[in-house]
Amino acid sequence: MRRRRLVLGIGLGVALAGALVAGNFAGRYTGWTVARMTPAELSAKLSPYYRVATPPGPGPFPVALLFSGCDGPKDSMDRWSAALVAHGWATLVVDSHAPRGLTAHESWRLVCIGQVLLGSERAGDVLVALADARRMPFADPGRIALLGASHGGWAIMDLLAFDPPAALPFNLGAAPGPDDPLAGLAGVVLLYPYCGEASRTPADGWRREVPALFVLAGNDRIVDPADCGRIAAALAARGQPVETLTLPGVDHGFDQAEKAPLSTLEFDPAATEIAIAAALAFLDGLPGHAPGAGFP
């Protein structure tokens, strides 16, 4: 009898835990349980953690905003920033984790399992950082690109699906500024982004034409590259300027050497060089761009 009660208790505990996890996800996916902030409040939260790098000279420079995967900014963000700066771009690495205390005790794992900071919420970070970047003295406010890896790519895609001010990311109560919040956005680079059912792009698409480059890992074990392939094809069918590069034989996070303990993902320097070269070529092809030297 005691054993039966123990088994029943464990079963009920597991069921309750599952219900809580599912309920928390549902609340965040719909935005019901996400706290709203003003753009000024969110900027004050994020901006102390901005990491800015610029080419030599006063500018103005085109600016690339970089958004990491669900484990927070690692060496890959520095690697991309260095390549972009050498190519004539200023960069702004946006840390969504440290301002929320998601760096302590591996609490970033809650982001990875969809219990904290879904793409529909982090999209607000992208929008506010975009507004902040436009005001930086070295920036050309009309020439900004977004680069997101994995979870960061999901956040960028959700932002384009919201297309503010038509709809807002769930952590914002208002759009930043009186003008078009996405003004100056020239293109996006999406590195092995999450394109699954929690992404808003499959259902909503993107309302405006923003050139996009999907860089996918052919052997991705974390996200399904076929999901992203279907999204890219659907966007292209609607007239969106979309390019796709699939790197065969590489896994998720191939451009990141700094891994969590016990991670089986591997850094691939050769694939990273190919991805960086493809991204720079894509950026060179944006309207009005001067190849190899940033914007004039």
**Which pLDDT score, from 0 to 100, does residue 134 have?**
95
Enter the CATH code of domain 36-284.
3.40.50.1820
The three-state secondary structure class of 189 is: strand
The domain locations on the chain are 1-33, 36-284
**Burial of 213 from C-beta contacts in 10 A (0-12 / 13-18 / 19+):** buried
Give the DSSP letter string of 10-73.
HHHHHHHHHHHHHHHHHHHHHTTTPPPB-HHHHHHHHGGG-EEE--SSS--EEEEEEE--TT-S
- The pLDDT > 90 percentage for the chain reads 74
Number of C-beta neighbours around residue 209 at 10 A: 12
Least confident of 15-19, 57-61, 111-115: 15-19
Q: pLDDT band at residue 18, thresholds of 50, 70 and 90?
A: very low
pTM of the predicted structure, to 2 decimals:
0.89
Average pLDDT over residues 121-128: 97
Indicate the pLDDT class of residue 263, thresholds 50, 70 and 90.
confident
Strand (E) positions, the chain? 51-53, 61-67, 90-94, 139-149, 185-191, 212-217, 242-247
The pLDDT of residue 195 is above 90 = yes
Residue 264 backbone dihedrals phi, psi, to 5 degrees = -100, 0
pLDDT at 20 over 70: no
Which residue, chain included where needed, has tokens 């300027």?
241
pLDDT of 13 over the 60 cut: no
pLDDT digits (tens, 9 = 90+) for 216-228: 999 999 999 999 9
Span 270-277, average pLDDT: 98
Q: Would the pLDDT of 288 be above 80?
A: no
Q: Tell me what the mean pLDDT of segment 26-48 comes to.
A: 86
Name the nearest CA neighbour of 117 among 160, 68, 79. 68
